[in-house]
Amino acid sequence: MNENRTTKWSTREDKVVDSKLLDTKKRHGPSDRHELDHVIDNQPRTGDCCSNPPTEGSHVRVVFSPGVQEKRPSDAFMSARLLGCASPLIQRARIIKIVTFMTVHCSSMWWPPDKSLAGFLHLSVFLSLSGLTLYHFMNAIYLGPGYLPPGWAPENADHTDSLQFCNTCQGYKAPRTHHCRKCVMKMDHHCPWINNCVGHKNHAHFAGFLFFAVCGCLLASLTLSCSLYRALN
Nearest CA among 152, 137, 150, 154 for reference residue 74: 137
Q: What span, in angstroms and rounded, lies between the C-alpha atoms of 206 and 136?
A: 7
pLDDT at 208 over 90: yes
Phi, psi of 152, rounded to the nearest 5 degrees = -70, 145
Say yes or no to pLDDT of 36 above 50: no
Per the CB < 8 A criterion, the answer to whether 103 and 191 are in contact is: no
Q: What is the DSSP string of 68-118?
A: SSB----TTTT----BTTB-HHHHHHHHHHHHHHHHHHHHHHHS-TTT-HH
Give 101-111 pLDDT, tens digit per residue: 888 888 888 78
Active site residues: 191
Residue 64, amino acid:
F
Q: Where are the domains of the chain?
A: 89-146+187-233, 147-184
Residue 132's pLDDT band (cuts 50, 70, 90): very high
Question: Whole-prediction pTM value?
Answer: 0.56
1-5, 43-47, 53-57, 116-120: lowest mean pLDDT where? 43-47
